Amino acid sequence: MIIAIETSTSDLSLTLLNKNSILSHISIPIKNELSEIIVPTIKMFLKDNLISFDDISFLAVGCGPGSFTGIRAIISTALGITVSKSHIKSIGINSLAGLAMSAIQEAKIMKLKYIISSIDSKKDDLFLQLFKINYTKNKLSPIVAISNIDTIKIEKLNNYFAIHNLILTEVLFVGHKSNMAKNIIENLNVSNNSTQHPDSLGVGKLASCIISNKISINKTNYAFEKFKPIYARAAQINLK
C-alpha cells in the first residue's frame, strides 16, 4: 500500500492507496502546530483504516514548492518514518505535478494538450509549471513537465502563454487564482476541481502510476527517489 502526504499549502492531506485504488483520504486545515500534529495524525489515519506502518510499502510526499514551513516539516517527518521503518520506500513528488495529475482526467475529457499548475507563493505571485499530457497507452508517464517552475504575477499570465507559444484552446489551468486567471484571459479553460490547491490525492495517484507501471523515477522530471524539498523562489523567466 501507498500513503501519500501533502502539506505544501494550507492543509495537511493524507491519502491511502492500494495499487491504483483510493482507500481513504482526509484533509485538515494547518495551523501553527503542524510539526506537532503530523505524526499523531498519520498514526490515527492508519489506525482508522485498521493498518499500521508495517502494511505500507511506499511513502509519497509532495515536496513543494509552497509553504517553507510545511515542506520542511513533512520532509523531516517522512525521513524519520523511512529511517525507523526501513521497508518503506520513499518517493518525492513535485507538488505542481501532483496538482496537474489531479486534473488530468478532466483535461483528457476536454481533449486538451497541456495543463498549467498554479500554487500561491504567498509573496504576491504564483509558482507556475507547464505539463504536457501523454495520451499514449503504453507505460510512459501520464504527464511530462515541459517548463521549469516559474514565478510570476497573475497579471502577467498572457506573457506566460506567449513565451511558451501556447494556444489558448489547448490548455487547462488548475490551482490558485483560477478565477482571476479566467478574468485576465477570456475563454481560458479552468479546472472545475473543488480543490484548487495541491492535495495528497494527486501526489498519491502520480506515485501509484509510477509504481504500478514500473516507470523509472530517474526518467521523470517531477519525482525523486529521495525526499527533495523544492523551495522555488526567484523568477526564472523575464515577463516584462
Q: Per-residue confidence of the chain (240 residues) as pLDDT tens digits?
A: 999 999 988 789 999 999 889 999 999 988 767 888 899 999 999 999 999 999 999 999 999 998 888 899 999 999 999 999 999 999 999 999 999 999 999 999 999 999 999 999 888 899 999 999 999 876 678 999 999 999 999 999 999 999 999 999 999 999 999 999 999 999 999 999 877 889 999 999 999 999 998 888 988 889 999 898 997 654 343 333
Cβ proximity of 4 and 14 under 8 Å: yes
Q: Are residues 125 and 146 in the same domain?
A: yes
Q: Looking at the domain assignment, is residue 232 inside a domain?
A: no
What predicted TM-score, i.e. pTM, was given to this entire model? 0.93
CA distance 116 to 174: 6
DSSP for residue 171: E
| Pair 178, 116: CB distance under 8 Å | no
Calpha distance 63→8 (Å, rounded)? 7
Domain hosting 51: range is 2-95+198-224
Q: Does any domain span residue 237?
A: no
Specify if 71 maps to a domain. Answer: yes
> Is the same domain home to 103 and 144?
yes
* Domain assignment of residue 234, yes or no: no
